[in-house]
Amino acid sequence: MTTTNSVFIATSLDGYIADRHGGIDWLHATPNPNGSDLGYGVFMSGSDALVMGRNTFETVCGFDGPWPYEQPVFVLSNRLLQIPPEYADKAKLVQGPLPEVLAQLHRLGHRSLYIDGGRTIQAFLREDLIDELIVTRLPILLGGGIPLFGDLPEHLDWTHVSTRVWLDALVQSHYRRVRKGVPRVC
Ligand SMILES: NC(=O)c1ccc[n+]([C@@H]2O[C@H](COP(=O)([O-])OP(=O)(O)OC[C@H]3O[C@@H](n4cnc5c(N)ncnc54)[C@H](OP(=O)(O)O)[C@@H]3O)[C@@H](O)[C@H]2O)c1
């Protein structure tokens, strides 16, 4: 059965997912009078579970309002010993090499995974474990911060699936990994 690891993320024009202080207020600066979800609902409806880095988990824990996910959340951390008790029914800790983490989640029946967090996405990309990239570019230059992309051991080719402009301002492009007949190994 196929498995898919997808990224759905917003960046500045210069490729940052958070500013130098980890801030993400700029993500909400574009007027959105009708409360468009920018395709997030459709994307989430196709996701079985989330895998996020500890930093993103801690950001989400700091959000006002109810817990934002219906799907199970798996938090990558080598430092956390356990998920804080107040989130124990919402998130689980996972550790180890990414192929082993993925195998564990597949055994649990989670096959369409939403991968979130800058360092986390970069780690998945370094091992060529991302299949879909949906990147929404916002019209701002942050000049520094947490980058979406980092160094890779080799080129990774993608095919363009679609591009959509939201709110006359946000350019959302969907790319699919092209592996030239070589399937992903896990
Ligand atoms: N623009 C957007 O759409 C968007 C989306 C998501 C997040 N963000 C922002 O991005 C920031 C978080 O991104 P980030 O790059 O700092 O971190 P991250 O990927 O969320 O978390 C990194 C942490 O995950 C843990 N980890 C364990 N195994 C890992 C592995 N194999 N690969 C990578 N990480 C692993 C490590 O935690 P330990 O140190 O505990 O071992 C590492 O320090 C936050 O400011 C968040 O608000 C923005």
Q: CB of 132 closer than 6 A to ligand 1? A: no
Q: How far apart are CA 145 and CA 168, in angstroms?
A: 25
pLDDT for the residue numbered 1: 76
- Close Cβ partners of 27 (under 8 Å, ≥ 6 residues apart): 10, 138
pLDDT for the residue numbered 78: 96
**Whether the Cβ atoms of residue 63 and residue 73 lie closer than 8 Å to each other:** no
pLDDT for the residue numbered 184: 66
Q: Which helix (H) or strand (E) holds 138?
A: strand 132-138
**Whether the Cβ atoms of residue 145 and residue 10 lie closer than 8 Å to each other:** no
- DSSP category for residue 116: E
pLDDT for the residue numbered 182: 65
How many A from CA of 117 to the centre of ligand 1? 4
Confidence class for position 180, pLDDT limits 50, 70, 90: confident
Number of the ligand 1 atom closest to the C-alpha atom of 52: 20
Main-chain phi, psi angles of 108, to 5 degrees: -80, -5
Phi-psi region of 35 (alpha: psi -120 to 50; beta: other; left: phi over 0): left
How many A from CA of 123 to the centre of ligand 1? 10
Residues 127-163: pLDDT tens digits? Answer: 999 999 999 999 999 999 999 999 999 999 999 999 9
Q: CB of 148 closer than 6 A to ligand 1? A: no
Residues 43-101: pLDDT tens digits? Answer: 999 999 999 999 999 999 999 999 999 999 999 999 999 999 999 999 999 999 999 99
Against a cut of 0.85, is the pTM above it?
Answer: yes
pLDDT for the residue numbered 10: 98
CATH number of 4-177: 3.40.430.10
- DSSP category for residue 86: G
Res 112 pLDDT > 70: yes
pLDDT for the residue numbered 185: 57
